[in-house]
Amino acid sequence: MSAYKLVYFPIRGRIEPIRLLLVDNDLPYEDVNCSAGWPDSWKPKLAFGQVPQLIDGDFELVQSNTMLRYLGRKHDLYGGDVKEGARIDMINDGVEDYRLAYVKLIYQNYDAGKEEFIAGLPAKFQYLEKLLKASSGAIIKGKKTYADYNLFDLLDIHLLLAPSCLDSFPTLKAFHDEIANRPNIKKYRSTDEWKKLPVNGNGKQ
Ligand code: 0HH
């Protein structure tokens, strides 16, 4: 199988959940840095003028959540039936809502809004805690799903912002720990290269 190509800036940002999915499932990929020549050489070629972009042979996709679902369908990370698939999508859509709020804080209101944002996290995380607790700590009990990587990354970036934010959420904390300790993911996240990779494009985290 030829390697997927992931076109993005050299940051974690919106592509990190996709990288984690590929790493955990032994799927080869290469990062393509779009910084050089951005925007003129890139924007006209991108379906919505934005990255990330996934290239699978002659097939090109943008929209990070579409890319996750594509890989989920291709690599059996989409549950076993339509109801499981819908639950995975539902949780992934919830993750997207929380990611949008995070992105808004990071890029538009970091200094003035950080304290209030952190104070509001328990009100959000209680829902995710309840959802996972009802399913033995997983999105789908006993199965890997594409949304695992998006939820993991969401928790991970919030832990950087507020290291104690999962202290009252044991199910979410165990979910995060389990994925962080999977051998491929642990190895990937232990390199100096990964540790130096900015989380966001403006240096805030
Ligand atoms: N809904 C889309 C998705 O989920 C949103 C994509 C998006 O916002 O895929 N793309 C942004 C880049 S992510 C984009 O293409 C934000 C990171 C910005 C970091 C830039 C600087 C990095 C320097 C090292 N934005 C460019 C644009 O819209 O022109």
pLDDT for 52-107, tens place per residue? 999 999 999 999 999 999 999 999 999 999 999 999 999 999 999 999 999 999 99
The average pLDDT across 38-59 equals 98
Model pLDDT for residues 153-196, shown as the tens digit of each residue: 999 999 999 999 999 999 999 999 999 999 999 999 999 999 99
The C-alpha atoms of residue 134 and residue 131 are separated, in whole angstroms, by 5
Categorize the per-residue pLDDT at 1 as very low, low, confident or very high, splitting at 50, 70 and 90. Answer: confident
Tell me if 202 is assigned to some domain: no
pLDDT at position 10 over 90: yes
- Provide the pLDDT for residue 81: 98
Tell me if 205 is assigned to some domain: no
What's the ipTM? 0.96
Q: Which ligand 1 atom is nearest residue 62's CA?
A: 9
Considering the domain architecture, whether residues 175 and 89 belong to the same structural domain is answered as yes
Domain tally, the chain: 2
- The one-character DSSP state at 2 is P
**Domain hosting residue 114, numbered range:** 82-182
- State the distance from the centre of ligand 1 to the C-alpha of 171, rounded, in angstroms: 31
CB distance 201 to ligand 1 below 6 Å: yes
CB distance 11 to ligand 1 below 6 Å: yes
Q: Which of 38, 51, 63 to mutate to test the pocket of ligand 1 (most atoms within 8 A of CB)?
A: 51
Q: Are 102 and 158 in contact (CB under 8 A)?
A: yes
Model pLDDT for residues 112-126, shown as the tens digit of each residue: 999 999 999 999 999
CATH number where 153 lies: 1.20.1050.10
CB distance 52 to ligand 1 below 6 Å: yes
Q: What is the mean pLDDT of the chain?
A: 98
- Contacts of 67-71 spanning 24+ positions with Cβ under 8 A: 67/18, 68/17, 68/18, 68/21, 68/92, 68/146, 68/147, 68/149, 68/150, 69/146, 71/18, 71/21, 71/22, 71/27, 71/146
Q: Which of 14, 34, 40, 105 to mutate to test the pocket of ligand 1 (most atoms within 8 A of CB)?
A: 14
Closest-CA residue, ligand 1 atom 2, reads: 63
- The residue ranking higher by pLDDT, 39 or 1, is 39
Considering the domain architecture, whether residues 31 and 67 belong to the same structural domain is answered as yes
CB distance 51 to ligand 1 below 6 Å: yes
